[in-house]
Every structure is written in C-alpha cells, then in structure tokens.
Amino acid sequence: MRNNAPMTSPDPLCVAVIGSGPAGIYTADALTRQDREPVRVDVLDRLPTPYGLVRYGVAPDHENIKSIAGTLRQVLERPGVRFLGGVEFGRHIGRTDLARCYDAVVYATGASVDRRLGIPGEDLPGSVAATDFVNWYCGHPDSEVERFLLDAEEVAVVGAGNVALDVVRILAKTADELRATDIPQAVLRVLADSKVRRVHLLARRGPIHARFTAKELRDLGRLASADVAVRPEEVDVDPNGEELLRAARAARTNLKILGEWAARAPQGRDRRIDVRFWIRPAALLGADRVTGLRVERTALDADGGLVATGTEEVLDVGMVLRSIGYASVPLPGVPFDEGARTVPNSEGRVLDADGSVRAGDYVAGWLKRGPTGVIGTNKSDAAATVRGLLDDAPALRAARAGAPVPVESLLAESGVEVAEYEDWLAIDAAEADLARSLDRGARVKLGGWDALNAALRR
C-alpha cells in the first residue's frame, strides 16, 4: 500500500481539487511541489479512473500524447496527495460539506459538452456531438457500445480543430490499424463492421483560420486506408497577400500541407476524406433521421466577418458530427458565467455575482479560462491559481472554524463507495491483462461500468 499519510507539519493547509484531469492533477502538483506552505491535497473525481481528458479525450492512436498519464501518475503517487474516485461533486458532496473538511477548494472539471450548431434538424438522430463520439471510442463508462453503429456510407464532421481531425481519422482508419491501441474491444468490433467510406471535413472559414496543428494534419495525410482530397480553389491563397503575411507560422505550414494535398492525385484507396473550406452547415435534412446536410458557401466581408454567399449544395450523409468547440457546465452552488461558459474569477480566485472574491474557492483549467490551449497549457494555468491560493494561506487558516472533518467520514455517512488510488491500479492491471489475453498492445480499456466495477471488486 502507498503511504498517503499527512505531512508532518503541525499545520498543513488542506485543499480539495475537484477533477482529476490534467488541470486538477497539475494543481495538485503545484501545491505539493512548493515549499512555501505545507499542504495536503485530495483529488476528487466522479469516475474511479483518473486523468480525465488524457484517458477519455485523447485519440487512442496518439500514444505520445497519452504518455502524459505517466507524468500525472507520479503526482498521484506523491506523499500528501490522495485520489478519491467515485465521488461526484453536487451529488455525493457539496460546497458546504467541503468547507468542513478543507481550507480551500479548486474546481477543475474542464469542459465536457460540445457547442451546438444552431441550425434546423440538429436534433435528428444521426446528428451527434463530437464529445459523444470521442467518449465512445475512448471507452468512457457513460457511453454505451450500441451508441454508434456506423451504418452510413458518408459522414460529415464539422469543425476546424484537432478534435475534428481525430474524429475523421478514427472514422477513416481500419480496425486492423487500431488493433494495437487501447480502444475497447467492443468498439473495435463496431469499427471493423463500419460502412463509412467517405468523410467530409467542413470548415466555415479558410485554411489560414483553421486551428489544426501541423502534426495532426500530417497524421491525416499518412493514412494508408484513405485518400485525402482538397479542392485547389479552396486553399488558393495569395502568397504575397496581406492575409498570408499576417498569418502565424503554424497557419502557413498548414496551408503548405493542404496545397500539396490539392495537387496530389487520388490513389484509389478504399476510403476518402474530403477536406473542405469556406463551407457552413445550413440545415440537417431528413424526417426520422439524418439523410443529408445542406451546406452553404461562405466568404469574408470587408471587415473580415464571415458571411453567407447564397451558393448551396447538399451532401448525401447519414451522420453529422459537430466539433465546433467545447463548453463547461455549471457546478451546483458555484458561480457561472453562461455567456463565457466559465467560472468568473480573478487570477483563479472565484468571484461571486457582485464581483467579490469568494473566500476559499478557486478554479483552474478550461473551467477557468475556456477551452483554449493544449494539455500542457494547464500546467502554467494551474500554477497561477496555486500562487494565489498560497498567498491567501494565512487568511484561509484564520477562517477555520475548528479542526477539519475527515472527508471520508462524510462520504461514509452518505454511503459512497470511494475508489482510492489502489482501486485504480486494479483497473489498470485488469486492462493490461485484457490486452495480453487479446494479443493487443499494452492495454485494452474496460468498456462500461459493469466491467470497471468488476475490476474494482477483484
């Protein structure tokens, strides 16, 4: 058993971190790496598995990005840090309860839902948020295998970011190409039976405005199973024009890659990816489910705003996945800005409706700043929040109403079965065992709550 005993300081600061994704664990890292204040940290998550987006958001074929879990694991194994899984904030424990147990609470629950397109037909079966599809192929226990059948020959993915590229890539790859990854076995079987043969990737603006990283774009072009088609006129940018001269280096690199694809002849592969620019979804078509997508050409006006041109076409697709940005959801009892979809804050300190600082409440990650940056961005973001928390340490101690109540006693009273770090290690071992039994790489994720609970009982 790992030693999670409190630090030997006579007066450690007790901090709860809500969320065990990168933002939450980087917060625990910053709190326990410093020597200004002795600190004990409990990292709470509603799932029995840590790592959040790294486990359930990073595509299974991105082994290098998923390796970040090794760094996060070291933080959870640090003395003074505890992982308490299976504990849902707002259901099993609330802010009033936490105030009895901790000097401070840091909310780091990320952004878990997709923004909507706001067009007719968006609620038809076959219209799907990219997060739902990502959760499915990443084996999130809330996602049922039956959620996707992939019985449409053509699919549209709306978005111009890396998540959209991930979704396109998984749809275009064969099951054999994904066999060595940690994708759940039941999901792999669905992908093996997929009827998808053509994927349309739609971006409302031009290639200079896309948020793809060059690496993700190149990964798409290296697929052995699919041709990538780009229309030359949609990536035709004046090399001496003001637009290109103002563009960031990453945008110019993307344009170069896309230009090479536009000049490339198709190889006759079994699947095809059409990368389209200056196209916006106008309406999803169909009576009982999606049978098509009406799209419209776009352009920039004199002020740089996006306008519709009136030129339309219909794509013969049976599924549409929207990936136009993530959004956070409100937490019970925690201030929330519905417009920005973030918790109002000043340098990580949570602000009430009147703009005053809510003592003892802090926020980090996407819930703090919105869904921007890469996974590593959360490290500096968490460190900034922690600096403010440590500055407040004297006031936090002065506000104590007595000795902290052990959180496990409150959870026991409410009947919560807490999954501690050792329970996560049991799941980790079960997934390694499953991979060996299937002759499939280092790990195969357990799919669904029943499988996770069975591993916990073991």
Does 399 appear as a known binding residue? no
d(CA 123, CA 9): 56
Question: Smallest Cα–Cα separation from 25: which of 454, 365, 322, 428?
Answer: 365
The first and second tokens of residue 229, run together, are 């088609």
Does 65 appear as a known binding residue? no
Count of CB atoms situated within 10 Å of the CB of 145:
16
> Which amino acid is located at 160 in the chain?
A
Does 375 appear as a known binding residue? yes
d(CA 226, CA 264): 13
Q: Judge contact between 43 and 419, C-beta under 8 A.
A: no
Sign of CA dihedral 236, 239, 243, 248: positive
Does 289 appear as a known binding residue? no
CA distances from 299 to 15, 203, 233, 281, 308 (A): 50, 12, 13, 14, 6
Does 374 appear as a known binding residue? yes
DSSP string, 33-46: H-SSS-EEEEEE-S
Q: Judge contact between 132 and 388, C-beta under 8 A.
A: no
Q: Which one-letter DSSP state was computed for residue 146?
A: G
Q: Judge contact between 111 and 341, C-beta under 8 A.
A: yes
Which single residue is written with the structure tokens 């799209």?
295
Question: Smallest Cα–Cα separation from 137: which of 180, 96, 185?
Answer: 185
Q: Judge contact between 5 and 83, C-beta under 8 A.
A: no
CB within 8 A of 103, min separation 6: which ones? 13, 14, 15, 360, 393, 396, 397, 399, 400, 404
d(CA 115, CA 163): 13
Does 373 appear as a known binding residue? yes
E-only strand ranges, 279-400: 279-285, 292-300, 306-315, 319-322, 326-327, 345-346, 349-351, 357-363
CB within 8 A of 84, min separation 6: which ones? 42, 43, 44, 45, 407, 408, 411, 418, 419, 420
Does 191 appear as a known binding residue? no
Chain-centroid distance, C-alpha 101: 29
Chain-centroid distance, C-alpha 174: 23
Does 55 appear as a known binding residue? no
Does 369 appear as a known binding residue? no
Provide the annotated binding site for NADP(+).
204-205, 216, 373
Provide the annotated binding site for FAD.
23, 53, 366, 373-375
Provide the annotated binding site.
23, 53, 204-205, 216, 366, 373-375
